[in-house]
Amino acid sequence: MTDFTVEERAARPWVGVSTTGELAHWGRVNAHVPTIYAALAEAGGIPLGGPIYQYRRLRTATEPMDLTVSVPVSACMEIGDGFETGEIPAGRYLVARPEGGPDILDRVHAEMWTWAGEHGLDLAIDERADGIHWHARTEQFLTDPESEPDRSKWAIEVTYLLR
């Protein structure tokens, strides 16, 4: 079982690319990561950590989902055409920091939903006909895959904004 905490967080600025992707073709989503880091470097920006996947709309894991692939920065900044800037909102978050890389994320998310329900926490979501719309749901990779090639040792931070 994964350990969970509830944390109060400040807004987190980011630069990135919004896209629609599906797990079966996740390489297309991941292809944005080096492009964002390169554009950020060219614009003189400094990344404040690993990439953050911000999930905005999801129906099922097998269907396309709307998300933003982003990189945290100290302040919102423009880095060129095709890139966006914004903030992950401030607020109370349910947080997990498991090790195991992307292979464990399905289990972690299921455990988080269960744990939130058991502890009376209300996830900040809107359920609509086209799926669940998240106010803020993120996965940030804390381990650099170039320095640790073993995916089972990758640390990830998973967060859900609470109402």
| Tally of domains within the chain | 1
CATH of the domain at 69: 3.20.80.10
The pLDDT assigned to 59 comes to 83
Reported as a pLDDT band with limits 50, 70 and 90, residue 81 is very high
Comparing 4 with 103, the larger pLDDT belongs to 4
Instruction: Judge whether residue 162 has pLDDT over 90.
Output: yes
- Among positive and negative, which fits the CA dihedral 158, 75, 45, 14? positive
Burial class (CB in 10 A: 0-12, 13-18, 19+), 89: middle
State the pTM of this model: 0.93
Predicted confidence at residue 136, as pLDDT, reads 98
Task: Kindly report, residue by residue over 20-68, the tens digit of the pLDDT.
Answer: 988 878 889 999 999 999 999 999 999 999 999 999 998 877 788 999 9
What per-residue confidence (pLDDT) applies to 85? Answer: 97
- Find the domain containing 103 and state its range: 4-161
Average pLDDT, integer, range 82-90 = 97
Q: Show Cβ contacts of residue 83 under 8 Å, excluding neighbours closer than 6 positions.
A: 15, 16, 17, 36, 39
- Tell me which H or E stretch contains 18: strand 12-21
